[in-house]
Chain A
Amino acid sequence: MGQSMKSMQELEAIRERARKAMQVRQNQEGGPVISVAMGTCGIAKGARDVMMALVDEAAKRGLDSVVVTQSGCAGYCEHEPMIKVQLPHQDAVYYGSLDERKARDVVARHLVQGEIANDYVLQLPGGEPLA
């Protein structure tokens, strides 16, 4: 027994939506991209929850076109969960030691208001922010 007819229809609607969004993206130059570090260290420290919070918050705020993707371990395992926010024509900003609440805050402040959420910016041992 496979998936029910109703769920197949729902799934097809989601696929259709994805294909349309992909077409729009291909025709226009890059929008915002958030990548979540998903090495073993990140996963063990809650990167998946952070990713789900980012997706949920972006969708709730109508930021549908934001791309949420993943990357591997960046070598700063002690600062996981870590994300990189890349807005078009701007330098990438790295945030560290996030949780679900902070991740939602980053969406609100960085993506909606366009201000870097300084208090979560990843600080390296030398005290310099990784940005």
Chain B
Amino acid sequence: MKELALHLLDLVENSAKAGASCISVAVHEDLGSDVLSFSVKDDGCGMDAEFLERVRDPFTTSKPKVTGLGIPFLCQAAEQAGGFVDIASVVDKGTTVHAVWKHSHWDRAPLGQMAETVTAFFAMPCRIVFDHRIVDQTGAAVWQLELDSHDFGGTPLDAGTLAALKEFLDVQYQEGRKWVNQ
């Protein structure tokens, strides 16, 4: 996957697949401490210790007959760019995935089409709480986007609303990316 926004979509899909009723997604870009992080927290079925141990292995998947690979790809994307992936999970309680990159790292893939990824979140059949913020070199919060599908009356949304949301997000992200050199 060429953009980190696709990895983020993949993480949220994992949470949906785990039967989550609410998924909290946070994207933080702190230019002062040079960190980009994703945090995806769900209340899905969780993983036991034995599975958690194996989840970074490319030959592991929860799914019968299909490949998986999402988490190994994410680990690779983070580790090649001075970052890491942290996964905490409790059976029947949920999973939290935390992925961190060095923001300015030469090998960090671009964030990519976030407006599209966030629009796709609203096609998920569960509650989505999304927060993306950018903090500049001086530690000041310069841009923030907060969305909660609860305020939209629930998900998945109809095509008309999704199209309007996508248009809104395109404008927001055009503004947001101006704060970041990429």
- Taking CB as reference atom, which chain B residue is nearest A40? B70
User: B163 to A59, Cβ gap below 8 A?
Assistant: yes
Residues of A within 8 A of B143 (CB): 1
User: A51 to B66, Cβ gap below 8 A?
Assistant: no
Residues of B within 8 A of A14 (CB): 152, 161, 164-165, 168
Residues of A within 8 A of B158 (CB): 18, 21-22, 25, 64-68
* A to B contact number (C-beta, < 8 Å): 144
Q: How far is the CA of A37 from the CA of B152 in the complex (A)?
A: 23
Name the contact of A10 in the complex, choosing from B10, B70, B168 (C-beta under 8 A): B168
**Residues of B within 8 Å of A, CB-based: how many?**
49
- Label chain A's interface by main secondary structure: helix
- State which residues 29-48 of A face B: CB under 8 Å: 36, 38-41, 43-44, 48
Residues of B within 8 A of A7 (CB): 168, 171-172
Closest chain-B Cβ to A128's Cβ sits at a distance in Å of 18
User: A67 to B156, Cβ gap below 8 A?
Assistant: yes
Q: CB of B79 within 8 A of chain A?
A: no
Q: CB of B50 within 8 A of chain A?
A: no
Q: How far is the CA of A58 from the CA of B76 in the complex (A)?
A: 37
User: B120 to A48, Cβ gap below 8 A?
Assistant: yes
Chain B residues within 8 Å of A, Cβ to Cβ:
1, 6, 9-10, 13, 16-17, 63, 65-70, 73, 113, 116-117, 119-120, 123-125, 140-147, 151-154, 156-166, 168, 171-172
7 extra A-B contacts, CB within 8 A, seeds A41-B66, A58-B163, A59-B164 = A10-B168, A14-B152, A17-B160, A18-B153, A40-B68, A51-B120, A70-B156
18 contacts between A and B (CB under 8 A): A3-B146, A14-B161, A15-B153, A17-B164, A21-B161, A40-B67, A43-B6, A44-B1, A44-B6, A48-B116, A49-B116, A55-B162, A64-B161, A66-B158, A67-B159, A70-B124, A70-B125, A73-B67
